[in-house]
Chain A
């Protein structure tokens, strides 16, 4: 008898896509905006990125070690959370606050709910909202090196020019200002098929249409409002998080519409000048319901005969 071989159930091959590969792509897609953030806001921004990254990965490793769970930092999802958190913080934030934010994102939002795939809300978004509420340093904005000083433009009377909004040399968080870099990253994710267009387009489109209506059809002003205040980083990178957004095309459209709407409601009628994070958080919570409403239509039913 010839030697025995392995018996398994089909399929016997795999596409090769992995969680780690997807997370690596997200990290690559965030590279342009990270570089832009450091150029615009200086080396202090790099420090914030480094602290958030290290703390996020470190806390996850530590949690797994203490709770004797399988080590998961290798899947790079903690690194993605850390980087996204950093990009949503102003460059002048105290570093200890970064560490606490990272701990909140990883331990409270992610690990305590069961780790990757189990969290109900996006860790980076939730940590940012937590920090907005907890730390006063979050509400005043960054100290831009050679840009407009002061609060984010949404709170300001006059808006920066469109070119400034594209290039990002104005006040804001590290990763939200340079729309050009965010777009490059978004296109990379689309080409790598990590994300699809529905959610970002619905999100950004809704904010644009709502702003247009509120600003008496002032096209330029509506465009400026879309290009600022974290709409792009939120729509492309935060809202598209697999775990906390719906999988189907229509689900994504619904999520984007809702998030865009809530963003504008907060911007125009709320106490905070910025509403993207709150909007995403709120839609995260609605996601299980959106999933149920927007399941694919099954090719044929009638399995109960």
Chain B
């Protein structure tokens, strides 16, 4: 896309502490100039995505209802690249982790967890590196496009994983409806000699890309509630994250742009757009022919787990994989009615939970009951709410119940 006139780059585009802004109003920046310094271990660097002038450091309301500082940069339209950028020297594990930390790369599948933190584990514990290429949410195809166009970057990253972390088994989990991406991944897998790379074609069933679901379907290993993939010897990384790592290792260009699926009934020409981070949704939609009608909902991510944003001023951030503008017809949800105990929720739950029973227990605030129903296992995929013929807020209640149990646990701990 054309360089946007301004970009708004929040300092918190990841899980963890926001970065500290290191530029001031009036500073000149280029593509790849560091504008935010990671604050502590669980944090990430932030870079300018355009060349131009810093015009504002503003309070910015994030979609999770917290505020952070955002650096607003007026683009000069030139997209000049910062001169100092050079491929990092990576000879061992420490170099590799440090390089990823420097690159500002976070989990691009949607979670935004700083990648260097995820990889900073004892390499002996890693049996499998699993590349999450499932991309199971409706509408989204940005990962698919990345796999089709950036397999060389991915290959370079995987070779480095093998060299520096001693990863010997890589599994690429991908849904069977992405034929071209599967072909690209198979070609890439064959080209890698440093480790075994298996392309595992999985059924296109949401939520195939849920971390626990993917680990189970690729390795047969089960991750307990409140545990991470590394507890069962797996590291799961999204394919676009892998491509970003490869690109950084090759060129030294940090994470400054993102492939975003722009879709939804209100968008005139839905397509994937490679957008500088900080581009407003407005500019993104304009690049897709504009909006054909006033959208009823704007969503970061997919329609099953994505979050709504209040208006189209919201910027593309690091982990934005899709921007959906749903029409009122698409966004219309049926009226909630009484539960008819049909069991659709429990029969559709990938983890075999009983959402209707959980909702009942939550209404009574029955702590022990909620624990025995294993609500903490819930990955919030939303299938229960999607299938409920009475349109009950089931996954929504699960989220509340999880939060409630966390608070109860805290209370219990402070009591003892």
29 chain-A/chain-B pairs, Cβ below 8 angstroms = A6-B297, A6-B308, A7-B308, A8-B297, A9-B396, A10-B307, A11-B305, A12-B297, A14-B391, A19-B337, A19-B390, A21-B389, A72-B337, A116-B337, A116-B338, A242-B340, A242-B341, A248-B346, A295-B346, A296-B352, A296-B353, A296-B354, A299-B212, A299-B351, A299-B352, A300-B225, A302-B227, A303-B226, A303-B375
Interface contact B338-A5, CB-CB below 8 Å: no
The residues of B that contact A301 with a CB separation of less than 8 Å are: 224-225, 374, 377
The residues of A that contact B225 with a CB separation of less than 8 Å are: 300-303, 305
Name B376's closest neighbour in chain A (CB-CB): A303
Name B301's closest neighbour in chain A (CB-CB): A10
A225 to B399, CA, bound (A): 51
Interface contact A2-B282, CB-CB below 8 Å: yes
Name B354's closest neighbour in chain A (CB-CB): A295
Q: Does B299 contact A (CB under 8 A)?
A: yes
Interface contact A12-B352, CB-CB below 8 Å: no
Q: Does B387 contact A (CB under 8 A)?
A: yes
Interface contact B346-A6, CB-CB below 8 Å: no
The residues of B that contact A14 with a CB separation of less than 8 Å are: 333-334, 385-386, 391
Contact with B along A108-121 (1 / 0, CB 8 A): 00000001111000
Name A115's closest neighbour in chain B (CB-CB): B338
Q: Does B180 contact A (CB under 8 A)?
A: no
Interface contact B346-A296, CB-CB below 8 Å: yes
Distance in angstroms from A198 CB to nearest chain B CB is 11
Q: Which of A124-168 contact B (CB under 8 A)?
A: none
| Residues on B facing A (Cβ under 8 Å) | 138, 212, 216, 222-227, 282, 294-299, 303-313, 326, 330-331, 333-334, 337-344, 346-347, 349-354, 357, 371, 374-377, 380, 382, 385-391, 393, 395-396, 399, 405
A15 to B394, CA, bound (A): 14
| Residues on A facing B (Cβ under 8 Å) | 1-19, 21-22, 72, 75, 77, 115-118, 242-243, 246-248, 295-305
Sample of 7 further A-B pairs with CB below 8 A, known A19-B337, A300-B374: A11-B395, A12-B299, A14-B386, A18-B337, A248-B346, A301-B377, A303-B377
Distance in angstroms from B112 CB to nearest chain A CB is 16
Question: How many inter-chain contacts with C-beta < 8 Å in the A-B complex?
Answer: 169
With contact pairs A7-B310, A299-B351, A301-B225 given, residues A22 and B294 touching in the complex (Cβ less than 8 Å): no
The residues of B that contact A8 with a CB separation of less than 8 Å are: 297, 308
Please pick, from A5, A19, A22, the residue contacting B297 in the complex, using a CB distance under 8 A. Answer: A5
A244 to B332, CA, bound (A): 31
* Interface residue SS majority, chain B: loop
Q: Which 10 A-B pairs have the closest CB atoms?
A: A247-B343, A303-B376, A296-B352, A11-B382, A299-B351, A303-B225, A242-B342, A302-B224, A117-B338, A13-B303
The residues of B that contact A305 with a CB separation of less than 8 Å are: 224-226
Interface contact B331-A6, CB-CB below 8 Å: yes
The residues of A that contact B351 with a CB separation of less than 8 Å are: 298-300
Interface contact A297-B331, CB-CB below 8 Å: no
Name A11's closest neighbour in chain B (CB-CB): B382
Interface contact A1-B311, CB-CB below 8 Å: yes
Distance in angstroms from B205 CB to nearest chain A CB is 14
